[in-house]
Amino acid sequence: MKSYKFITKDLDCAACGNKIQEKLSKVEGMENVIVNFGKLEIKYETDTYSKDQVEKMIQEIEPEVTLVEIPKNKNENIKNESKTNKNLFRLLLGILFLILGVVIKNNIISTVFILIAYVLCLFRTVKNAIKALKTSKEINENLLVTISCIGAYLVGEHLEGLMVIILYEIGKILEDKAINKSRKSISTLMDIKPEYANLKHETHVHKVSPDCVKIGDIIVIKPGEKVPLDGEVVNGSSSLNTSSLTGESKLTKVKEGDKVLSGSINTDGVLEIEVTEEYENSTVNKILELVENATDKKAKTETVVNKFAKIYTPIVICLAVFVAIVLPLFTSLNYSESIYRALTFLVISCPCAIAISVPLSYFSGIGKASKSGILIKGSDFLDNLKLVNQIAFDKTGTLTKGEFGVSKIEKYGSLSEEEILKFSALGESYSNHPIAKAILKNVDFNINIKEVENYREISGKGLEYTYQGKRVLVGNKELVEYNDSQNDCTKVYVKIDDEVIGAICLEDSIKPGVKEALDELRKQGIKTKMFTGDNLEVAKKVGEQLQIEEVKAEMLPNEKYSELEKMIEENKNGKVAFVGDGINDSPVLARADIGISMGGVGAGSAIEASDIVIMTDDISKIKDGINISKFTGRIIKENLIFAIVTKIIILTLSVIGVAGMWEAIFADVGVTLITIFNTLRILRR
C-alpha cells in the first residue's frame, strides 16, 4: 500500500467531504481514506487506481471537485480566491439586475430583469444541484435552496426568493473566507519547512534539497536561514529562534558540540553543522507529518455529528412534504400558502452549521496547540485530554533534568575508581540514555571501544558486553544480582564475570517549574503519580519534593505497563495519561488513554508511540493543552446547542406561519456564519 495526498479543489462543504470519505472507504483496495479541510489522504496499490479514476469517483458525489497533487518539496497553500471572485462578480451583477427590476416601473422590463437576476444568482446552485442529482442521485443543500427559490417565485414571492439565494451566496462566500482564515492560521506553522540546505564541500558550498543531504555531511547555516536538518554544531556559535518548534520566543544559544533541531532559525552567527538525521527522520519533517495528519483521527463527537447530519436532511424533507400536503386539510390555508411554508422549511433544513462546526473546532484547537509547541495527533486525543483526571509521570528526563552528575564512586574490590569508571564507560559509549551521558562526561582519559564485543541493552536493567574475553555487566542491582542496603543515590553497578567490582553514584535534580506545574494540575483535580525504574529511596525523595500523591519505584517497563493498565481499569470517571521521554516508556505511552512524550529531549520511539508531543521540556504545557481541550469542547457545545435550538425554533415558527424566508436564511446561512466565527475564538484565545 502506498499513501497518496491530494488537494480537493472546490470542496468547501464539510458534509460533502464526509460523503466522499464514506464512499471511497467502501471501495475495494482503498484504505485509511481521510477527507479534511481541502485535503484527501488515501492508501491503495500503485497500479490499482489512477488519480483520474479517484477523481471520477469523487465527482459522482461532488461534480465540481477536482484533485490536485501536492508537490513533494513545497507546501501548498490551498486557495480558491479566483473561484470566489467569479462567484462574487456574478452575485453583484445579479443584485444590480434586481435593483433595476425593482426601480423600473415597466412591468415587462421589470419582470425580465428579475428573471435575469434569478438566473445569475441561481446559476451555480442549480448547476451543482442537477449534477449531484444526475451522478449520485442524492439531494444536497444546493437542490434544497433551488427548490425553495424557484418555488417562492412560482407562488408569487419573487423578491423573497431572490433574497434567499442572494443571502445564501453571500453566506457561502463569507464561510469560505472564515474557513480560509482558519487554514492560514494553521499554515503559518508549515513555514518551518526548509526549502534548501547549504551543503559544504572541500572548496565550496552549494544549495541542495534537504532530501539530498546524508548523515555525516556538513551543512552551513547563515544568519536568517532555517536549520534544514537535525545535527551537531562542529564550528561556530549563534542564537537560534526555536519558537516555531516550541512556542517559546526566548533565543537558544548554541556552540560547538551542541545539538540543533531542524526548523530553528539562525539569528546571527554562521554555523557549520554535521547532519545526524536524514530529512525523512528529522524533527521538522516529523512535526509537519503530525500537524498534517492531526485531524485524521475523528473524535467520537465528530463521528456522531456526521451521522446525525446524514439523516437530518431527509427527515426534514419528509416533514416539509407533510406540511405542504396536510396543512390545507386541517387549517384555512390554501396550497399556495402551505407550499410556501414547506419551502421555508427546506431552507431551514440545510445542515451546514451542524456539519461544519465540530470538525472546524477540532481543526482550530489542534492548530492553536501546535502554535504553543503542543502537537496533538488527532481530534480524538484533543477531545479526551479535557477528561484526564490522573497522570502518571516518568521521573528521569521528565520531572528531573536527566542530567546526572557523578557524586562518588564506590569500590567493592581491588580495582581503582578509574578502572570502575572505565568499564562503565566502555559500555555506556553505545547508549543514548541520560545516565550514560552523565558517566561519559566524567571520563577524561582515552578508552578503546573497538575492543567491545557482543554489546546489548537489557531493557529496564542496563547493558552487557564482552571485553578482552571478560563478560561485563553495567546496570542496576537486579542486573548484577547485588544486595545493597544503602540506596541514597542512583547507582550504576559494574560486574566483571562473577564479581561486582564497584558502583557509580549519580544524582539528578528536579527541572525548574515542575513543582509549580504539578501544583496547577492538582488544582484542576488531577491526581499525580510517578513511575520510575530508579531505587525507592531516590524516588521517594523526589516524590516528597514535588508532593506527588503516589510513587512507584524500581519498576521494569512491563511493570509500568501493568500498573498503568490497573489505573485505567479502576478509573471509571475519566482518562489516564502517562508522560515520559525514554525508549522504555514507549509501551506505556501507547497503552495510556493519552500518551504524552517530551519531544524536546524524547526518544524517537517515545514520540512515535505517544498521542501528544510537547516540543519542550516544560510540563506546564500539559496544563495549557488541557485548557485548550476544555475551551474547544466548550465552543463545540455552544455551536451545537445554538445551531440545533435555533433551527428547531424557526422550523416550528415556519409551520405556524410566523417565520418566513428571511428567518429561514438566518437559520441556515446566519447560524453557519455565527458558529464559524465563534469557532475562530479558539485561535484568538
Cell numbers for 437, please give them. 551521558
Return the SS3 of 638: helix
394 carries an active-site annotation: yes
Residues 255-304 have pLDDT tens digits of 998 888 888 888 888 999 999 988 877 766 766 665 555 445 555 665 66
Strand partners, 551: 530
Angle among Cα 170, 172, 174 to the nearest 5 degrees reads: 70
For position 290, what pLDDT does the model report? Answer: 55
The answer to whether the CB of 343 falls within 8 A of the CB of 313 is no
Cell numbers for 82, please give them. 479566483
Cell numbers for 328, please give them. 390545507
- Residue ranges of the chain whose pLDDT lies below 50: 72-79, 186, 189-190, 294-295, 601, 603
For position 73, what pLDDT does the model report? Answer: 42
Cell numbers for 438, please give them. 552523565
Note the CATH architecture for domain 379-401+510-610: 3-Layer(aba) Sandwich (3.40)
For position 666, what pLDDT does the model report? Answer: 80
Count how many Cα atoms sit within 13 Å of the Cα of residue 572 in the half-sphere of its side chain. Answer: 1
| CB contact set of 315 (below 8 Å; sequence gap of 6+) | none
The answer to whether the CB of 35 falls within 8 A of the CB of 21 is yes
| CB contact set of 372 (below 8 Å; sequence gap of 6+) | 247, 621, 624, 625, 628
Residues 375-432 have pLDDT tens digits of 887 788 898 999 999 999 988 778 887 677 888 899 998 899 999 999 999 988 888 7
Return the SS3 of 522: helix
For position 294, what pLDDT does the model report? Answer: 47
For position 75, what pLDDT does the model report? Answer: 40
Cell numbers for 651, please give them. 422550523
| Matching CATH number, 405-507, of 3.40.50.360, 3.40.50.300, 3.30.360.10, 3.40.1110.10 | 3.40.1110.10
For position 501, what pLDDT does the model report? Answer: 93
The answer to whether the CB of 396 falls within 8 A of the CB of 434 is yes
For position 192, what pLDDT does the model report? Answer: 58
Our measurement of the distance from residue 199's CA atom to the centroid of its chain's CA atoms, rounded to an integer in Å, reads: 32
Query: b/e string for 384-417 if b means 16 or more Cβ within 10 A?
Result: bbbbbebbbbbbbbbbbbbbbebeebbebeebee
Cell numbers for 302, please give them. 465528530
Note the CATH number of domain 197-292.
2.70.150.10
Instruction: Give all strands of the β-sheet with 575-580 in edge-to-edge order.
Output: 374-376, 612-614, 594-598, 575-580, 388-394, 527-531, 550-552
**Selected catalytic residue, list 380, 394, 617, 624:** 394
Note the CATH number of domain 2-54.
3.30.70.100
Residues in the chain: 685
Domain assignments of the chain as residue spans, ordered by start = 2-54, 81-187+294-363+630-684, 197-292, 379-401+510-610, 405-507
Cell numbers for 384, please give them. 479526551
| Mean pLDDT over the full length of the chain | 80
Distances (CA, A) of 296 to 303, 307, 359: 12, 17, 10
Long-range pairs, 67-72, Cβ under 8 A, ≥24? 67/6, 67/7, 67/8, 67/9, 67/40, 68/6, 68/7, 68/9, 69/5, 69/6, 69/7, 70/5, 70/6, 70/7, 70/39
